Amino acid sequence: MDRLVKPDVKEVNIIFNRLEKCSTAFRLTNLMHTMSVAVSLTTSNPSLLSFATPLCILSPLSTSSFTLSLSQLCDHPPLSTPLDNIIVKSSMLVTGKANQEELHRLFSKPGPQIFKDAIIPISFVGPQVVEFLLSPSSKQHSAYILSKAISACDGSQLFSLLRSAVKCSNCYITSTLIEAGADVNKRDSNQRSVMSLAIQSGNSDLLDILIDSGYVVDNSVDRLLHDAAAMNRVDLMEILCLGFLDIDVNLVDLHGRTALHVAAIYGHVEVIEFLVSVGGNPDIADQHGWTPLHCASIAGHVEAAEFLLNCSVYVKYALTKDGKTPFDLAVKKGHSDLYDMLRLGDALHRAARIGDVAEIKRCLVEGAKVNGKDENGWTPLHRAAFKGQTESVKVLLSNGANVDMVDNSGYTPLHRAVEAGHVQVALALIGNGAKANMKGLKGVVPLHLDSFKKHLSLVTPLCKDKERA
């Protein structure tokens, strides 16, 4: 016979609760039919784990329950590698009777009369153990310790722990919890998802884990692209768009804002560029009539505003429900760097076209860019030259206008003046250094193109006089 008693478990689990008395119970059965057995219960860590009755007597074929307790209140689970153990020893008791002192003497002397019946591993389990394993103060422990701790958690606890693991950006524990049954599609009382928490953690691997685990986007509550846009994380947005091919990039939040609005509020240019590239609409207005350009303008985000302007010709004229344009909002906050692109540039081009010298001067004083281009690449000088506004040309030149700036066709203001037959303008341009032999994209030279022959007799002598001088 190799043992006298048999435990009813191969391991014991203690559900750990901080600063509370923690204990567990198991049973031992006497295998002897006719003889009582003396039993000794000890642990590999007696200062921490102990029995209220470490020595006892089991009558023939009887079963008794024993309680193992933590000897002290602990703030965190006393995990150990390898695990602590219960050591069960026994000895036949011929008389069937013995007091505690006699039992102690019996087991204090090793010998063949002492049977080592079992070594039972001790595991600390429950949600608070998993929480400790997630904490920064926890050292790395074995996968077995984690899996044992999780095994004692119910569905509600698994979900709570899953949220904690995602918040802590712990991919391994997140995966282990999901494998144990944590529901990736469950939401908290505020309808926040674990995917939203994963985005906030900034860990792209967590997004992949949740996508692979079957996370389903709920467009009625999920604003995943909004979250990623606020964080300036294009990489997370790419994972979302690839993982959920039907994700709505123009989905609005409770304020009617798209993810593009959010990116514009923060001035995240790369995010704005990405969203537009996957179908984000820069013309969508929120519940107050604000477009993303309004949001970028009031915050003074120059690069964001410039990109949004390039996406839509008319967005700069959009009005909020209060009747405000993006320009009005920029002026309200004093963001002068935006004045030119939002309105003054247009006003300057118009003034140059109609010859309003006073308006040209006003626009330039208020911050309009003298060499600012429109959608065709025309500067105000191109406009004034093409319309024959000689005084406008002179004012623009005196304020730093580039006399040889080319438009999208490669034409300079001199090309446009000659094209329209404005001799005095051509004279003024040449007098300020305009190159009379500069070719456009199609090889057109202002003073030698056949289509301009009717103007050559007027302009060419001026060029020759300039060359002699």
pLDDT given for residue 448 in this prediction: 47
Residue 12, helix vs strand vs coil = strand
Bond into 446 cis (ω within 30): no
Going from N- to C-terminal start, the domains of the chain cover 5-124, 340-468
What does the buried/exposed string (b/e) look like for 380-403 if buried means 16 or more CB atoms within 10 Å of the residue's CB?
bbbbbbbbbbbebbbbbbeeebeb
pLDDT given for residue 310 in this prediction: 87
pLDDT given for residue 466 in this prediction: 44
Give every residue of the chain whose pLDDT is below 70, as ranges: 1, 439-469
Of residues 258, 217, 264, 263, the one with CA closest to residue 239: 217
What does the buried/exposed string (b/e) look like for 181-200 if buried means 16 or more CB atoms within 10 Å of the residue's CB?
ebbbeebeeeeebbbbbbbb
Expressed in angstroms, the distance from the first to the final Cα of the chain is 126
Tell me, which fold does domain 5-124 have in CATH?
Immunoglobulin-like (2.60.40)
pLDDT given for residue 274 in this prediction: 98
pLDDT given for residue 103 in this prediction: 95
pLDDT given for residue 363 in this prediction: 85
pTM confidence score: 0.76
The answer to whether 430 and 398 are in contact (CB under 8 A) is no
pLDDT given for residue 142 in this prediction: 84
pLDDT given for residue 1 in this prediction: 64
Place of tokens 């540039």: 345
Rg for the chain (alpha carbons), in Å?
41
Q: If one looks up domain 340-468 in CATH, what number appears? A: 1.25.40.20
Tens digits of residue pLDDT in 310-340:
888 788 889 999 999 999 999 899 998 888 8
H helical segments located in 8-154: 100-108, 127-134, 143-151
In sign, the C-alpha dihedral spanning 186, 190, 195, 197 is negative
CA distance 469 to 466: 5
pLDDT given for residue 449 in this prediction: 43
pLDDT given for residue 468 in this prediction: 42
Q: Distances from the Cα of 139 to the Cαs of 81, 109, 134, 223, in angstroms? A: 11, 39, 10, 36
